[in-house]
Amino acid sequence: MTASATIIWDWNGTLLNDVEYSIQTMNSLLSERGLDLIDYEKYRQWFEFPVIKYYQKLGFDFTRESFEEVGLEFMKRYFAG
């Protein structure tokens, strides 16, 4: 008998729509830095890959803190749920 594994890949919104939660998580980072908060429309308009460009549009200053630091903080908060 062979072992099998199941991998479930959920591209945001296919199985779980996490846009509102992602916006809330991002807004917590923006608020702490005195940056303008975003809503659904701004998220849809500004989100892009590579994600660093999205963060720059939102006003993050990567001369003050690195993209890696901000990204890790986002993920920490997101996964803390």
Please, which residues have CB within 8 angstroms of residue 21's CB and are 6 or more apart in sequence?
Answer: 78, 81
DSSP string, 4-53: --------TTSS---HHHHHHHHHHHHHHTTPPP--HHHHHHH--SSHHH
Q: Where are the domains of the chain?
A: 21-80
**Residues 77/21, Cβ–Cβ less than 8 Å:** no
The predicted-structure confidence for 7-29, as pLDDT tens digits, reads as follows: 777 766 677 788 999 999 999 99
The predicted-structure confidence for 31-50, as pLDDT tens digits, reads as follows: 999 999 999 999 999 999 99
The predicted-structure confidence for 58-81, as pLDDT tens digits, reads as follows: 999 999 999 999 999 999 999 998
Distance in angstroms (rounded) separating the CA atoms of residues 8 and 25: 24
Residue 11 confidence (pLDDT): 67
